[in-house]
Amino acid sequence: MSKTLQAIRGMNDILPEQTPTWRYLESTFASLLDAYGYREIRLPILEFTELFARGIGEGTDVVDKEMYTFRDRNDESLTLRPEGTAGTVRAVLEHGLTGGGQVQKLWYTGPMFRYEKPQKGRYRQFHQIGVEVFNLPGPDIDAELIALTWRLWKALGLGDSVTLQLNSLGSSEARGVYRDALVAYLEKHFDALDEDSQRRLKTNPLRILDSKNAMTQALLADAPTLADYLDDDSRAHFEGLKARLDAMGITYEINPKLVRGLDYYGRTVFEWVTDKLGAQGTVCAGGRYDGLISQFGGKPTPGVGFAMGVERLVLLLETLERVPEALNAPAHAYLCAFGEEAERAAMALAESLRNEVPGLRLLVNSGSGSFKSQFKKADKSGAVYALILGDDELAQRVVGCKPLRDDREQQTIGWDALAAHLATCIEQA
Ligand code: HAM
């Protein structure tokens, strides 16, 4: 017997019950970004592997363990994008969008792929909405990005459920000096480190700071802290950011252990976290990556951005019951027709109603059926009215209009008056 085909583990179907919430989230965000003057960019899902290896960094979990990489028929190594920043940088360079100091404020959305251990809020195909800004070096734009996300949480009714964590990673030189100091300290305690941290000591020591291991965390209590190694410019940048957040009334927690898992960051890093989703509580994360473009061979160009996890935000909206009821609004009317001729007339009538009544949600019965069965379908659809078109109504160019959600009487309405009648009903609803 053949095996039933299933989706790949960690790659989810988004079923019709959920898509309205996705669209609500995406459209709320898109109109907000529009209002702030950000423009959408659409990027390929596949890129050359080298882009991510160089951009995100060898030694990061994403590059070392999580990429979906394969050789195509031309024997080129390609990778399903694990995130959107590297691809955006590649695109702006390729099209000269940042040349001559041009400012770019861009956003994107779409699926990303990481071979992670699937669990609630962590998937192998997941979706991000991300923003990347180029050629603005100051803390004002870091603050604007945070303000924009803060406005989104409020628009979605999530303002009380997320908190902002903030840190500065300093310049790459300062980070280098700090890294040496951290490694020197941890090497003295090598045997007490968890296995993952022992490995990271060689590949990516800063990531040890956000180890979940209790023993490692205890050791870190006395470790040198990054804040003590910040260079003056980074310190001034960080102060500038905090002052702007204070001015806007955006509260934050400084988290000196926030380092992020991708190599390209320097200076500002931030995460919006919630305690309502269990272990996968980061709903949005980002920071500054001023060195990334030059790493790809471009002129030094400041960059800063963030990405949010759509699945996690949908989960949060559902958990907190913040999905607006109106998203699942039923049809205004369900048109039943009886007999071949009436069915034909019903389709034409439906099209003219759709022309005349903007926003009309009208279902037309498909597959014929008795009066009883069509009426049952009309009721089950949740529609507010059943419109009835049989031979008699056809002859008189009228329909029966039966309210399905209250006990008002059925009315007979002429075809010419039906659009106006439905428009009034929609307004009153
Ligand atoms: P990231 O922290 O790797 O950053 O991912 C950003 C967000 O995507 C996370 O905070 C989380 O909400 C979501 N996310 C990540 N992995 C998964 C997963 N396996 N399942 C579900 N959701 C996930 C970046 O990707 C950077 N490119 C962000 C950025 C843009 N920084 C500057 N510009």
Are residues 26 and 143 part of one domain? Answer: yes
Are residues 408 and 261 part of one domain? Answer: no
* Assigned domain for 177 exists: no
For the chain, count helices (H), then strands (E): 15, 16
Are residues 258 and 117 part of one domain? Answer: yes
Residue 328's pLDDT band, with cuts at 50, 70 and 90, is confident
Indicate the SS3 state at residue 80.
strand
Percentage, residues of the chain above pLDDT 70: 100
Q: Mean of the pLDDT values across residues 263-284? A: 94
Maximum mean pLDDT: which of 28-42, 191-205, 254-268: 28-42
pLDDT at 429 over 80: no
265 marked ligand binding residue = yes
85 marked ligand binding residue = yes
Q: Which atom of ligand 1 is nearest to the CA of 121?
A: 21
Residue closest to 312 by CA, chosen among 105, 153, 146: 153
108 marked ligand binding residue = no
- The pLDDT assigned to 70 comes to 97
How many angstroms does the Cα of residue 283 sit away from the middle of ligand 1? 8
- The pLDDT assigned to 257 comes to 87
* Assigned domain for 179 exists: no
* Assigned domain for 297 exists: yes
pLDDT at 408 over 70: yes
pLDDT at 1 over 70: no
- The pLDDT assigned to 210 comes to 82
339-381 residue pLDDT tens: 999 999 999 999 999 999 999 999 999 998 999 999 999 999 9
- The pLDDT assigned to 428 comes to 78
pLDDT at 209 over 70: yes
Residue nearest to atom 11 of ligand 1 (CA): 309
Question: Of residues 138 and 297, which shows the higher confidence score?
Answer: 138
pLDDT at 261 over 80: no
Domain count, the chain: 2
Q: Which two tokens mark 427?
A: 């307004």
How many angstroms does the Cα of residue 350 sit away from the middle of ligand 1? 45
**In contact, 106 and 94? CB cutoff 8 Å:** no
Q: Which two tokens mark 99?
A: 């040349």
* Assigned domain for 341 exists: yes
Q: Mean of the pLDDT values across residues 71-76? A: 97
- What is the domain-level CATH number for residue 66? 3.30.930.10
- The pLDDT assigned to 207 comes to 87
What's the rounded Cα separation, in Å, for the pair 250 and 312? 22
Q: Which of 275, 292, 319 marks a domain boundary?
A: 319
Are residues 292 and 160 part of one domain? Answer: yes
Helix/strand/coil percentages in the chain, nearest 5 = 45, 20, 35
Are residues 257 and 340 part of one domain? Answer: no
Residue nearest to atom 15 of ligand 1 (CA): 309
377-393 residue pLDDT tens: 999 999 999 999 999 99
Are residues 401 and 281 part of one domain? Answer: no
Indicate the SS3 state at residue 128.
strand
285-311 residue pLDDT tens: 999 999 999 988 889 999 999 999 999
Q: Which of 319, 343, 375 marks a domain boundary?
A: 319
* Assigned domain for 360 exists: yes
Paired sense of beta strands 104-113 and 39-40, if any? parallel
Q: Which of 286, 319, 352 marks a domain boundary?
A: 319
Q: Which atom of ligand 1 is nearest to the CA of 283?
A: 12
* Assigned domain for 202 exists: no
Are residues 241 and 113 part of one domain? Answer: yes
**In contact, 211 and 198? CB cutoff 8 Å:** no
- The pLDDT assigned to 42 comes to 98
Are residues 411 and 358 part of one domain? Answer: yes
Residues contacting residue 147 through CB under 8 Å, at least 6 positions apart? 248, 250
Length of the chain: 429
Are residues 361 and 278 part of one domain? Answer: no
Are residues 413 and 273 part of one domain? Answer: no
Pocket around ligand 1: residues whose beta carbon is below 6 Å from it?
83-85, 114, 116, 121-123, 126, 128, 130, 132, 262, 282-287, 305-309, 311-312
- What is the domain-level CATH number for residue 407? 3.40.50.800
**In contact, 260 and 274? CB cutoff 8 Å:** no
Indicate the SS3 state at residue 271.
strand
78-115 residue pLDDT tens: 999 999 999 999 999 999 999 999 999 999 999 999 99
Indicate the SS3 state at residue 5.
coil
pLDDT at 269 over 80: yes
Are residues 68 and 34 part of one domain? Answer: yes
Mutating to test ligand 1, I would choose from 83, 107, 260 the residue with most ligand atoms within 8 A of its C-beta, which is 83
Residue 67's pLDDT band, with cuts at 50, 70 and 90, is very high
Are residues 166 and 288 part of one domain? Answer: yes
* Assigned domain for 278 exists: yes
Domain that holds residue 23: 19-170+230-319
* Assigned domain for 206 exists: no
Q: Which two tokens mark 303?
A: 């960059």
